[in-house]
Amino acid sequence: MKNMFSCKIFLVIILTAVSSPKIFAQALSVDDIKAQMVKDWERAKAYTDEYLNTMPADKFTFKAVPVDSVRNFAQQMIHLAQGNYFLMSKATGDAPPAFANSNLEHSASAQTKDSVTYYVNASYDFCINAVKNSDLSKWGEKVKIFGMETTRYAMMIKTFEHQTHHRGQTTIYIRVAGIKPPQEKLF
């Protein structure tokens, strides 16, 4: 009887150990993190493109409120794109194209639907390629921006956060214009 009880306890211990999540969990590698980051940037590009396609061409200069200090829809999207170029170039050291440093936000000819769409999508391509081609061994290196110091990896995350923030702001523009914004795209 004692032997049977000992066998049952032994069996419970073995089953517990075998079914423990720690035993079956796989380590997350930096390659996995990089692949997920690329996937998220590709999703963000598709999501932002839905926003650009949702807003009619004649509403690209629309402002949610008629205040000079508030950007119009096109300016918000151009700002998003310029942030993509500037912040990701700080994160990876990749040089953005020359036009990325121009003052497109205040150029009326740059604020057409076609121009904004091109510029925004090109900025996402820049970010996607920058992450794909980045040297993982340098992700822990420190970079300085706006008087602050952070890692290259953290700067990539902050770049993603910036574009998410400004795309989110344009949701209000779309709603105030009487249009239903795209459905959230988490995956």
As a whole number of angstroms, the distance between CA 170 and CA 52 comes to 10
Q: CA angle, 123 as apex, 164 and 155 as ends, to 5°?
A: 55
| Domain architecture of the chain: domains with CATH | 28-176 (1.20.120.450)
Q: State the pTM of this model.
A: 0.84
Rounded CA gap, 114 and 111, in Å?
8
Query: Mind listing the pLDDT tens digit for each residue in 26-79?
Result: 888 888 999 999 999 999 999 999 999 999 999 999 998 988 899 999 999 999
Query: What's the pLDDT at 98?
Result: 83
Read off the pLDDT of residues 88-109 as tens digits, 9 standing for 90 and up: 999 999 999 888 878 888 888 8
Dump strand ranges (E) for the chain: 142-145, 148-151
